[in-house]
Amino acid sequence: MQYAMFIYESAADLAKRNDPQAADSYWGSWSSYIKALSEAGVMVGGNGLQPYQTGTTLRLQNGKRHVQDGPYADSKEQLGGYFILEVADLDAALDWAARCPAAPNGAIELRPVLPPPSGL
């Protein structure tokens, strides 16, 4: 079964990506985690995301586009990236989520991937 694992981190944790004193430690933990996912054969794909300020939100209202710079919602935690996991069940996905470097200070959301309808 496939699960999308959305990784939410605090602004302070995301800032470590570019902090000369914290970047090596930050990226080192992620490299180790990604290597473990790959070696276990459970990672289908995934990416880190640019900071939330680079996002653009689109809403269609009455047939008109409304475009807003920035994220859809203002929150303390920001979506920093995602993985698609292929695992046996939710318990296995939760085990991998618990090992994620962002888990101690952020939030990890797991959501089953919706397969396309048959015939598509």
Q: What is the DSSP letter of 54?
A: G
Q: How far is the C-alpha of 16 from the C-alpha of 10, rounded, in Å?
A: 10
Supply the pLDDT for residue 51: 83
Structure tokens at 82: 């995602």
Say how far apart CA 39 and CA 45 lie, in whole Å.
13
Per-residue pLDDT of the chain (120 residues; tens, 9 = 90+): 999 999 999 888 999 999 999 999 999 999 999 999 999 999 999 999 988 888 888 888 999 998 888 766 666 678 899 999 999 999 999 999 999 999 999 999 999 999 888 877
Q: Which domains does the chain have, with CATH numbers?
A: 2-112 (3.30.70.1060)
Helices 90-99 and 23-40: angle between axes, nearest 10 degrees: 150
pLDDT at 35: 97
CA distance 79 to 6: 7
H-assigned helices in the chain? 11-15, 23-40, 90-99
Q: What is the pTM of this model?
A: 0.85
pLDDT (0 to 100) of residue 74:
61
Check residue 75 and give its pLDDT. Answer: 63
